[in-house]
């Protein structure tokens, strides 16, 4: 990948007031990329608001069909599928490279679906729209990719424990209001979920498809195959919302094609970019949502043999779904396009 040099870089942030949009700004502040100018967009409702970013006041602009008449080098989108469907092609047609967090473009042909630590080579060819994968898929693929490279994965079974922040601010509010209602014995109205998420596990994320899988489950299946370039990989998934504000956890059971030693798996993951092994049963160490929130890496623990099958392996994978599952990954794609570097910091939990 040729990095872009000696050029003034201008970036549009679309959906700057949402949970992921706010995280775009935080991660951009931390990453300190060679970017010269930013412009922040959101819906009409939020236009005019002032947001502090990089020690400056930024005014939110309303996104319109004319927004991309102004020349941008890149746009980070996180404003839902409808906005991405309509505005990403407009931006792309004006030579702005869109890094899109919605699900709309992900499974389309010729749209790269990229995790820089996994398939950066897919960024070589694009038509100015690049898709950021689903949050649950990103954290799983970061861990599964190095294992697949070395041992060839035959089958994957996902069971997820997903935080409410994945459903945006209204999902976050449903848990917060449920908690307050429990303590203060007051009524509240659900904003996002079909059922109370406080004190509950909801085995439905997004709508049901005809095959009785949810869209979230199908995304994990389809996107993992696309990212790993394995259209025939055997994958099943059950995705569940749990009463946790932020960071998704995943119980992942895999079957490998070749024999392995547990310590080799640990060593392999230990040197894998963006992955942190946090696994010591003798000290009760394993990744947990509360510890992973606010961090950019994918954390893995409970690495142990599944004795029920030859070459079986169990993993417990936790990551901040708003960061690595969305904003961080998008900014890492941007960073890779700008600098050619892949993020490989290893933040230890404790």
**Residues at the site binding a second copy, with contacts judged by CB under 8 A:** 155-157, 159, 161, 179-180, 182-184, 194-196, 199-204, 208, 211-213, 234-236, 238, 240, 242-245, 249, 251, 253, 281-282, 284, 286, 288-290, 301-302, 304-309, 312, 314, 316, 318
Q: For residue 59, what are the contacts with CB-CB under 8 A and spacing of at least 6?
A: 40, 48, 49, 50, 51
Helices (H) and strands (E) in the chain, counts: 8, 13
Say how far apart CA 35 and CA 130 lie, in whole Å: 19
Q: Which is nearer to a second copy, 2 or 212 (by Cβ)?
A: 212
Catalytic member of 96, 126, 135, 278:
135
User: Is residue 248 annotated as a catalytic residue, yes or no?
Assistant: yes
For residue 120, what is the DSSP state? G
Which residues on neighbouring strands pair with residue 47, listed in sequence order?
none
Shortest spacing between CB 66 and a second copy, in angstroms: 40
Shortest spacing between CB 346 and a second copy, in angstroms: 21
CA separation, residue 3 to residues 32, 128, 318, 328 (Å)? 16, 16, 31, 19
User: Is residue 229 annotated as a catalytic residue, yes or no?
Assistant: no
Q: Which is nearer to a second copy, 26 or 291 (by Cβ)?
A: 291
Shortest spacing between CB 137 and a second copy, in angstroms: 16
Q: Which is nearer to a second copy, 43 or 314 (by Cβ)?
A: 314
Question: Which CB contacts under 8 angstroms, 24+ apart, belong to 120-124?
Answer: 120/1, 120/336, 120/342, 123/1, 123/333, 123/336, 123/337, 124/1
| Residue 99 · residue 214 · CB < 8 Å | no
Shortest spacing between CB 141 and a second copy, in angstroms: 16
| Residue 156 three-state SS | strand
Catalytic member of 142, 248, 278, 292:
248
- Encoding tokens for residue 48? 């005019």
CA separation, residue 141 to residues 63, 165, 226 (Å)? 33, 20, 11
Q: Which is nearer to a second copy, 10 or 176 (by Cβ)?
A: 176
Shortest spacing between CB 52 and a second copy, in angstroms: 24
Total count of residues recorded for the chain:
350
Q: Which is nearer to a second copy, 220 or 333 (by Cβ)?
A: 220
**Active-site amino acid positions:** 135, 248
């Amino acid at each position: 990948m040729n990095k872009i040099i000696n050029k003034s870089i201008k970036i549009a942030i679309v959906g700057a007031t949402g949970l992921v949009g706010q995280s775009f700004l935080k991660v951009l502040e931390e990453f300190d990329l060679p970017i010269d100018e930013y412009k922040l967009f959101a819906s009409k409702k939020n236009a005019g608001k002032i947001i502090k970013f990089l020690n400056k006041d930024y005014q939110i602009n309303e996104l319109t069909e004319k927004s991309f008449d102004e020349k941008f080098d890149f746009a980070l989108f996180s404003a839902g599928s409808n906005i991405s469907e309509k505005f990403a092609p407009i931006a792309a047609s004006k030579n702005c490279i869109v890094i899109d967090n919605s699900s709309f473009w992900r499974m389309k042909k010729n749209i790269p679906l990229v995790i820089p630590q996994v398939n950066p080579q897919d960024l070589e060819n694009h038509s100015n729209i690049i898709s950021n994968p689903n949050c649950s898929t990103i954290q799983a693929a970061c861990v599964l990719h190095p294992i697949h490279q070395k041992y060839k994965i035959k089958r994957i079974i996902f069971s997820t424990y997903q935080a409410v922040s994945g459903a945006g601010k209204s999902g976050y509010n449903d848990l917060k209001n449920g908690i307050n209602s429990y303590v203060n014995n007051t009524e509240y109205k659900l904003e996002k979920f079909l059922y109370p998420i406080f004190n509950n596990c909801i085995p439905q994320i997004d709508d049901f498809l005809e095959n009785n899988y949810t869209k979230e489950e199908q995304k994990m299946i389809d996107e993992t195959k696309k990212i790993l370039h394995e259209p025939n990989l055997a994958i099943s998934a059950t995705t569940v919302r749990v009463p946790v504000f932020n960071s998704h956890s995943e119980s992942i059971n895999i079957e490998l094609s070749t024999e392995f030693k547990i310590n080799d798996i640990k060593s392999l993951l230990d040197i894998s970019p963006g992955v942190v092994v946090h696994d010591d049963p003798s000290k009760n160490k394993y990744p947990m949502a509360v510890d992973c929130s606010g961090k950019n890496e994918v954390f893995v623990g409970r690495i142990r043999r599944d004795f029920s099958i030859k070459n079986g392996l169990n993993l417990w994978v936790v990551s901040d779904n708003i960061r690595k599952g969305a904003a961080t990954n998008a900014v890492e794609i941007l960073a890779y396009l700008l600098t050619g570097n892949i993020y490989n910091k290893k933040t230890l939990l404790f």
